């Protein structure tokens, strides 16, 4: 399924625009390698970031011509990341400080938004003269996203705390970023194998599905170095993938096995196997498309949620206490 991120910039005043990421489809934006998401753009003119709450720029840039107060970032092409949990209260903003972790809207709308507020210098002050940034980039945390141009949309409405007074933003624009696994990686990150009740063994994934076997990039099952590899993974936030040596060489295998197939009902066992020695999938999510999923009656061992917007697509989420 295609995945989209919607980046929204709201300009209540020309000096304090809001920015945010709205995750509309799958997969999730994880934080296996800090930070989770990284948002970048190019200013249309000579703008700079005076201050920011709810996020921070990764580089300061050349602010040498400023005397006294120094801006937060003077780069023509800034990149911004989410703050870590537990950030000081005066640096927080609504829906911030999750280390860049953004879940899909269909899974949990309350965790599908990440937002921050910028104080921008040298910005225009009227609708005629303001120019939206361009060349947006999004990493989540790796590559794979392609962002379109900023598109002006109806201005966002803000409500007062008592919800009796409405304030309209000066200008609002959206940027849609589409994810493609073909752009993100040379090989897929998982494989799917299928079998039926007359199969006596688990049908393997095709050979070299996620790359061909190479002793330099995998570990044999039962190897003495496995425990060392797992210990190193807990100490480092940025580690290279290291799967078990298999024919398919995929970090994760999903197996769909038809156990029963009767006239009135059928039963399937779905097994997810983690071959990645450096990654635990504590919040694993599996999205499956099947024409008969609108008639599901019972699900075991997974938290199940049909995606209403897509009749034939359902989400299976690992139970919070389980880890792959």
At 244, the pLDDT band (50, 70, 90 cuts) reads confident
Q: Where is pLDDT greater, at 317 or 123?
A: 123
Give this prediction's pTM: 0.74
The dihedral built from the CA positions of residue 179, 181, 185 and 191, taken in this order, carries a sign that is: positive
* Interatomic CA distance for residues 81 and 55, integer angstroms: 6
Containing H/E element for 228?
helix 226-235
Asked if 315 and 106 touch (Cβ cutoff 8 Å), the reply is yes
Tell me, what's the pLDDT at 154? Answer: 92
At 230, the pLDDT band (50, 70, 90 cuts) reads low
How many C-beta atoms surround the C-beta of residue 172 within 10 A? 21
Tell me the percentage of the chain whose pLDDT exceeds 90: 33
DSSP 241-291: --BB--SS--SEEEEEEEEEE-SS-EEEEEEEEE-BTT---TT-EEEEE-T
Residues 6+ apart with CB under 8 A from 26: 1, 3, 104, 106, 107, 285, 287, 315
Q: pLDDT of 134-172, one tens digit each?
A: 999 999 878 889 999 999 999 889 889 898 999 888 889
Q: Where is pLDDT greater, at 267 or 200?
A: 267
* Interatomic CA distance for residues 21 and 116, integer angstroms: 9
Tell me, what's the pLDDT at 96? Answer: 93
- Greatest mean pLDDT range, 194-203, 232-241, 248-257: 248-257
Looking at residue 308, the DSSP 8-state letter turns out to be T
- Greatest mean pLDDT range, 214-228, 252-266, 300-314: 252-266
Q: Can you count the helices (H) and strands (E) in the chain?
A: 2, 19
292 has a pLDDT exceeding 50 = yes
- Greatest mean pLDDT range, 216-225, 268-277, 305-314: 268-277
Tell me the percentage of the chain whose pLDDT exceeds 70: 75
User: N- to C-terminal Cα distance for the chain?
Assistant: 23
Q: pLDDT of 72-124, one tens digit each?
A: 999 999 999 999 999 999 999 999 999 988 877 766 778 889 999 999 998 88
Q: Where is pLDDT greater, at 186 or 71?
A: 71
Find the range with the poorest average confidence among 19-23, 39-43, 55-59, 268-272. 19-23
Containing H/E element for 181?
helix 181-184
């Amino acid at each position: 399924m295609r995945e989209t991120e919607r980046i929204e910039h709201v300009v209540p005043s020309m000096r304090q625009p809001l920015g945010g990421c709205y995750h509309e489809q799958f997969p999730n934006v994880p934080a296996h390698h800090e930070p989770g998401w990284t948002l970048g753009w190019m200013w249309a003119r000579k703008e700079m970031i005076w201050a920011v709450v709810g996020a921070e720029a990764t580089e300061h840039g050349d602010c040498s011509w400023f005397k006294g107060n120094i801006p937060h970032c003077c780069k023509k092409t800034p990149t911004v990341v989410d703050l870590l949990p537990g950030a000081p209260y005066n640096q927080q903003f609504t829906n911030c400080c999750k280390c860049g972790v953004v879940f899909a809207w269909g899974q949990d709308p309350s965790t599908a938004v990440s937002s921050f507020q910028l104080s921008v210098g040298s910005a225009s002050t009227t609708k005629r003269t303001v120019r939206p940034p361009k060349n947006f980039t999004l990493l989540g945390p790796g590559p794979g996203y392609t962002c379109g141009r900023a598109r002006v949309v109806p201005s966002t409405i803000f409500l007062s705390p008592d919800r009796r007074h409405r304030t309209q933003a000066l200008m609002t624009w959206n940027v849609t970023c589409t994810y493609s696994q073909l752009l993100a990686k040379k090989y897929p990150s998982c494989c799917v194998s299928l079998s039926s009740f007359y199969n006596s063994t688990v049908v393997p994934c095709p050979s070299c599905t996620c790359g061909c076997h190479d002793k330099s990039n995998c570990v044999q099952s039962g190897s003495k170095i496995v425990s060392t590899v797992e210990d190193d993974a807990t100490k480092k936030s940025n580690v290279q993938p290291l799967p078990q040596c298999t024919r398919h060489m995929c970090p994760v295998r999903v197996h769909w096995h038809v156990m029963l197939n009767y006239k009135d009902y059928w039963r399937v066992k779905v097994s997810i196997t983690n071959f990645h020695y450096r990654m635990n999938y504590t919040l694993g999510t599996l999205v499956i498309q099947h024409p008969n999923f609108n008639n599901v009656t019972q699900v075991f061992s997974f938290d199940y949620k049909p995606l209403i917007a897509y009749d034939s697509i359902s989400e299976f989420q690992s139970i919070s206490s389980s880890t792959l």
